Structure 1
């Protein structure tokens, strides 16, 4: 069946004979939930010899490995699992692996990224309830929030600016706080990652890249559902440029917050500690966003928190997108007698310029890649310590 129909056959077997083993291409040996070997029988025999075992005559390598499985399991912490790979210098590599000098990877970094990306996608589609809940949550939140603010952005200029700023602040709070629900997923994956990378299954960098590539389109779908429903209901700038920029800012906020949670999930020991730490830091970031206290009122010794805040840059982007319009005067608050505040005047009072509309996006991208890089460094260090 395997040769004629090109099918892969997977079976469990105990103490097989020589005839059956000749038909098997790859063997996976398990003991107490740990993979002791994954590869060909020849590779298994070489591994047994490399750790000092002598296989008796008329006994196949697999049967002998089953008998000494307990001993192999005890030595697992001092050994690295060897994959079946075609390498002309395999004998030398095996000796180096047995001595713990280096890790031998079977796949190139590009292949690892492709394989891990496929695995992440399968995990997402296998948990259809979670995927559906996330998308429905974004859509319903946008609709509900839009119906709440639908009259706040009416024709009357009174308190319109205050309502808009409140909407921006709540939007950022919702987007960033909802990303914390990914923390238990990251913590669970971290345990699997440590076990697999310490045995040389793949590189930590490949895991980070694949995880990033999968989350980018997924978060785009979520933010598109939220933005499409809330933007037009609330009544922000009714042009396609304003909508696309709003979507871009919201998408970058979701990506940056996801990277932040992923980064600090590599440091915290458990879910409770992680949630306490992340919410504490998020609260500090929100305080220095510019909504509660102006930039000029912040003491000098707290200025650094403004530049670290994940809320500051998108909050300024949303204000510039809504109130700023180069070459035009847009009244954002007034009475029946006339306009009290123009958009450009308000931005000048806040110390904002039109050029910051794009420079802030670059800063948000830097946060996104920076937190991913920090997460890579922390995971690599954990993986290195687990091997030593």
Structure 2
């Protein structure tokens, strides 16, 4: 893969000048000389623009399509290259306020009347602002926060733990439920709607949520398949991924798996850069990051922020929270917001920190880290009686003074509206997630909600699931082993059952246990989605794919394994136990086992979408499946179930496959299960001699007026079904009902994802 632009030049920061390196695409090892400062400042192409040229040159070389104009070798150092100036974007937020209800902490002395205590309970650490009751009080997490972020710059939110850094990032990224957040957010002076923000932005969570068995390149390629439109060829998507790998500094780790606790993989810094790469694959205008340097050593943290600087210089707005940046990282930041208990105590450039605190009366000593000094001073003020109120008020007066010196002018946006700015960005290669540069009336109509149709999303999701499963064969192997061991035990325990009354009873026990086993072995599907839950929430939060696509793909991916498990269990038990029906009977037995696996898998999948923890989920699964078996009709016939519990009998998942196998086994009207003297086998008379049993039969014949001999058939399969109370449905109807249960639980799973995975604060 040809090397593209690795680092951009920042004309606003002379002490951190980084040269452009370019690649002649006709020679993979030829490195062009760096740009001069003057040429770099006048020509700063976006990442999307550079990638577009990479793709065009590649298509010309390979003959991929004839609609691409002929491009010459990309020489960014050429003075003849005319690059449109950066499209100005300004994200402004004004008076953001967010409060939550918290429980009061009651203390016994506080509940007793005294001169110093005039109310019940102790409030939380912050003073309540309203909405109080006997048991709750209101805690303000954000209080009147204002500021702005511009393209080409990094805005960092700093503060101690609990100061509101992550809350502010969530507020700006629209991760707080509508109605809970007060204030305004605008992009280029226009209110930023939720749908538009999802498409033009990306959010990198603090935790690296990645599939452990995929390589770095595969992880980014799947992100490209999700976020880049179908109209973009596979080769261009691959070129974009390769260029991004270069930009992120992951070339040496491209073929390495991500890894986890049990599999060695990439380092922590590389993992963090992969997480960033997933969310910038579509070159978003706004990038939010929640403490991207958390848990990294100083070198890895610096490399991550350096990558963010390049992303910002490509024409994006980068907003991140950071706990305590090092001196080197501070030099990469353009704007800072210091928070203390949800209030702004400083907002401005890092260069103004010495002047700001000097005017406040606490000058920063020379050769001391500015941010460390500021954070230490803020903590000291927080512990004082007056808190940081004086610093908050000083910041307001400082901001008013700075605003008055600028004459209150609006930020320069080049006279472009939001629609015009987005349209210009699309023409430069940004927002390639299906965006079109047309004459749409509103910006929303220019950018589609999703980059690809449902069937492409399903194909990519299925491919990723199969690949991930193929690299962890032990998961399916353990499940197959459990099914085979259970089938072997049942086959040897119920070996070749006869057609006697005892054989009938043993058949009933085998069928009930076999059907319940199919459901219990599905419990291992519980952790699958619980492990993927946060990856799913991250990907769907910004419209990588539809929830419906995930549900459909999830259902399709499990089918091959369920078919294999059903065939293995059916072949192990059917002929060994001596079940009836021949080949047609076996085929139906296989179908009902498969339907039971399908319903059980769907049921467990639905629970995984509702229950947040694995152990709690296992407890619920085992309990509910036990109830299903209890009400299936094996332990107590349907006619004997009390009326107030009969509804649970019809809800039992075990009932329908259990009855279907019974109907399949006892459907032959010519087959007899109790003949002559066998009628006494299930009674105390079963121990008497055969001659006495024949005399008893003769006596019964005389009494009933019907001749009963030792070969007379007294109980057929239909009689057994009647005794078991299985008269409502045919075996095929039981099969369809079982399959329908599976689809119902898949629909419920979708509903749980629709309403339970919003990933927003209340």
Instruction: Please give the range of the TM-score, normalised by the shorter of the 2 chains.
Output: 0.7 to 0.9
Corresponding residue of 2:539: 196
Contact 2:631–2:648, Cα closer than 8 Å, also in 1: yes
Corresponding residue of 1:154: 498
Matched, 1:280 2:530: no
Deviations 1:243-264 (A, max 9, x none): 0010000000000000000001
Contact 1:125–1:131, Cα closer than 8 Å, also in 2: no
Cα-Cα RMSD? 3.5
Shift of 1:238: 4.9
Q: Distance in 1 between matches of 2:434 and 2:538?
A: 24
Matched, 1:38 2:288: no
Matched, 1:366 2:740: yes
| Secondary structure at 1:105 match in 2 | coil
Shift of 1:300: 1.2
Matched, 1:356 2:356: no
Corresponding residue of 1:269: 612
Which residue, 84, 88, 93 being the options, matches 2:436? 88
Matched, 1:115 2:489: no
Deviations 1:256-310 (A, max 9, x none): 0000000011111211211111222111111110001110111111111011100
Shift of 1:18: 3.9
Q: Distance in 2 between matches of 1:387 and 1:199?
A: 16
Gaps of 5+ in 1: 3-8, 49-58, 76-81
Matched, 1:330 2:671: yes
Gaps of 5+ in 2: 9-17, 23-46, 55-239, 249-271, 288-308, 324-335, 338-429, 679-689, 691-709
Which residue, 333, 343, 356 being the options, matches 2:717? 343
Matched, 1:128 2:473: yes
Corresponding residue of 1:51: none
After TM superposition, the structure 1 = structure 2 runs for residues 174-185 of structure 1, keeping only pairs within 5 Å, are 174-185=517-528
Which residue, 482, 487, 490 being the options, matches 1:137? 482
Corresponding residue of 1:70: 320
Q: Alpha carbons of 1:220 and 1:61: their partners in 2 closer, same or farther (altered >3 Å)?
A: closer
| Secondary structure at 2:579 match in 1 | coil
Deviations 1:333-388 (A, max 9, x none): 44283444211111123333495211111211211110000000110112335398
Matched, 1:289 2:661: no
Q: Distance in 2 between matches of 1:265 and 1:350?
A: 34
Shift of 1:141: 2.6
Contact 2:610–2:756, Cα closer than 8 Å, also in 1: no
Corresponding residue of 2:560: 217
Shift of 1:68: 4.5
Q: Distance in 1 between matches of 2:758 and 2:438?
A: 23
Shift of 1:311: 0.7
Matched, 1:206 2:549: yes
Q: Alpha carbons of 1:60 and 1:350: their partners in 2 closer, same or farther (altered >3 Å)?
A: closer
| Secondary structure at 1:386 match in 2 | coil
Contact 1:159–1:333, Cα closer than 8 Å, also in 2: no
Contact 2:541–2:758, Cα closer than 8 Å, also in 1: yes
Contact 1:249–1:317, Cα closer than 8 Å, also in 2: yes
Matched, 1:301 2:644: yes
| Secondary structure at 2:280 match in 1 | strand
Contact 1:36–1:72, Cα closer than 8 Å, also in 2: no
Shift of 1:71: 5.5
Q: Distance in 1 between matches of 2:581 and 2:733?
A: 24
Q: Distance in 2 between matches of 1:14 and 1:160?
A: 79
Contact 1:146–1:230, Cα closer than 8 Å, also in 2: yes
Q: Alpha carbons of 1:208 and 1:234: their partners in 2 closer, same or farther (altered >3 Å)?
A: same
The alignment's TM-score, normalised by the length of structure 2, stands at: 0.43
Corresponding residue of 1:317: 660
Q: Alpha carbons of 1:32 and 1:214: their partners in 2 closer, same or farther (altered >3 Å)?
A: closer
Q: Which fold has the larger relative contact order, with Cα–Cα distance below 8 Å and residues 6 or more apart in sequence?
A: 1
Corresponding residue of 2:591: 248
Q: Distance in 1 between matches of 2:743 and 2:735?
A: 13
Q: Alpha carbons of 1:278 and 1:138: their partners in 2 closer, same or farther (altered >3 Å)?
A: closer
Shift of 1:27: 3.6
Contact 1:317–1:360, Cα closer than 8 Å, also in 2: yes
Q: Distance in 1 between matches of 2:570 and 2:622?
A: 24
| Secondary structure at 1:144 match in 2 | helix
Task: Name the structure with the higher strand share.
Answer: 2
Shift of 1:329: 2.5
Q: Distance in 2 between matches of 1:382 and 1:18?
A: 46
| Secondary structure at 1:332 match in 2 | strand
Corresponding residue of 2:451: 106
Task: Name the structure with the higher helix share.
Answer: 1
Q: Alpha carbons of 1:385 and 1:321: their partners in 2 closer, same or farther (altered >3 Å)?
A: same
Which residue, 239, 242, 260 being the options, matches 2:582? 239
Shift of 1:123: 1.6
The alignment's TM-score, normalised by the length of structure 1, stands at: 0.80
Q: Distance in 1 between matches of 2:760 and 2:440?
A: 24
Q: Distance in 1 between matches of 2:589 and 2:725?
A: 21
State which structure, 1 or 2, has the greater radius of gyration over its C-alpha atoms. 2
Contact 1:38–1:84, Cα closer than 8 Å, also in 2: no
| Secondary structure at 1:265 match in 2 | helix
Contact 1:320–1:354, Cα closer than 8 Å, also in 2: no
Shift of 1:199: 1.5
Structure 1 window deviating more from structure 2 (174-183 vs 336-345): it is: 336-345
Shift of 1:96: 4.3
Shift of 1:116: 0.4
Q: Distance in 2 between matches of 1:306 and 1:72?
A: 56
Q: Alpha carbons of 1:36 and 1:251: their partners in 2 closer, same or farther (altered >3 Å)?
A: closer
Shift of 1:118: 0.5
